[in-house]
Structure 1
Amino acid sequence: MPLFFQPARSSRHRIACLALYKVLLRTVSLVPLPSQADDPSLYIPPVKPTKPTQPPLQAIIRNAFRRNSHDVSPRLITSALKNGYKSLSLLSAAADPTSKEYSQILEFLRENKKRVVSLRERKEHLLDLLPNNKPIPGTVPVLVKVSKEDEPPRYIPNPARPSPRPIEQIPNGIRKPPRLDAAGTVPFLRMQKPQSRVIERIVRLKNKKRAENTISLTELHREDDERRIMAEWEDEWDGHLRALLPRGRAGGGGGYVNELDQVVRYLGEELNKEREDMIARAEAMLEIEKAEEEQMIKEDKERVEKGEMTEREVYEMRRSWRRRKKGQEAGRFYHEEERKRRGLPVSKRRYLEGVKRGRFREGDDRREVDDRREVEGDDRREVEGGVEFENRKR
């Protein structure tokens, strides 16, 4: 609901506030504060070293009036004016250095400096926590670009980052090869789960930028786009004006439609270059994945040959690792082969529909089965740890 009385448009209100502001500044000059050299705890250092240090009381008054200049609520304005007149009485009494009001002002200035300094430190700390595009010190890039500027993009695994990694650099001695993945159209190597927040942010920003360019390119290609229609009108108007000028004085220029076409060509070229670059990155990442996968298979064979583990133990180790990657509870036995072996539908959605209709029991897909036996009839019984349960044939 709009206000019928707006204080900023009232001359009486503005004159009253301006008079209070001037008398406060005039009274502040009568308070004998110690100099900055005598008592530096009263003075707040400026944000920029090039700026001079402001008198503390004058700065507080100016900031208070600047902060309350946009208030329109009568309640807030009345409270601010009352505080201003109370401060005027306090400053008038603080002109005497022996009064208790003078001591209160000194104590307030010291506490105010501590508060301002703590707020600045917190703000700097929050700025340091903001994500940025600067390279993280101490990190080695995974890929290195070897192609020149006028050549198609080509990347290779960074020689400074050995691939595959030596087994000594792996903490638990179990190699977990990275997997080539893509979010939208941006390829990346999934090194761990949960995924690194740095990679997540990079992929999100790249997808967002590419989506914006694609949408702009699609809209500018349309003949009914508002910007293209207005550009055609502007070119038509310029043509009429050039026809009115004397011969030989007509101005040049490519026209607004021509500029739009240049933007369309530029966006198309940038999207194509980005696509070729992502393909080249994906090929180099795939080399890293294949090298790690081959090394993993080689190490597993060596474990079996040396007698450290059996083939079944190696299989269980890899299966348990992949299960943990997908979560301890959710998605444990949702692979296609495991579902087929259990007589369950491959699709998770169809399995849930079967649970609702009574064809399956909830939790059947999460039970491990080692021993099986065939039972005559249409039903099949599966035994696990001495517990029997029955699945009806589909």
Structure 2
Amino acid sequence: MHKVLVLKDSGTHRFACLALYRALLRQCGASTAEAPWLGESKPLIQQNFRKFRKLQSPSQTANALKAGYEALDLLFSAHTNQSDAHRITSLIAQAMSQREKFAALQNRSRPVPTSPKPLTPRQARKAESIRFQEETSQRHPNATSILNRPRPLGDKKRKVPVLVNARGLPFLRYKKPQPRNVSSVIRTKLERRWAWIERRDMLKLDLVFAQDEEDWDNLTNTKTEEHPTWTEHCKTALRDVNTQISQFDNNAKNLAEKMWAIVLAEKALAEEEETIQRQPTQ
């Protein structure tokens, strides 16, 4: 069988095409007033080489190379032969005309852009919620602690916050929707507390098995005086995790008391400011 020649893998073919390409570009040097077609020929040559660089058909490749060598001869003789220069000018004009016709055809076949459909109220609310969540994903660098309240508001109307209980974790809600970074902090703390609870339940089960091990040692008289015993490890770990849960709950309780004091102070200031605004000015 004859060996199939893949043109793109042939070094000889690649060298011949690149040599022809460089020779054509050299002939299209800097254009002058007497030969403006030189500057117009270069982009056409580059465009056609990019267009036909992936040809694999032997007949098409041969025709393309033949046209390239004819163009090289034409460019070479156009410097001294005025008729060849006019021929190049006419060929460039034909190519430009075909390009404009093709562009016009593409524009006619392109669908007419329509104005975007207005969002429904539900879609608008959803888009606004997504935008707000993206803007509040990170804590503001100039944000102060929630406990540094109440603060002076000047002429603005004071809004009393609401103390919210999120599964045992308190926080103050001044407005809705809730910022994304606040939700992230609450979720992280609650997941940490739940992990401690799961560990506590697992340790309680381990304590039962540890007690069985000690009972077995007593029955078989294999108990040693080494410390700690089977159950001491579990009891120590259980005591530590209970301490963590207790500290978490106590901190949440203290935080709730401080936040409730803020709610009462904000409410008192709101009533006082409202009274002042109602007084007639002299």
User: Which has a greater percent of helix?
Assistant: 2
Please state which band the TM-score falls in when normalised by the shorter chain. Answer: 0.3 to 0.5
Q: Which structure would you say has the larger Rg?
A: 2
Which structure would you say has the larger RCO, counting Cα contacts within 8 Å and 6 or more residues apart?
2
TM-score calculated relative to the size of structure 1? 0.34
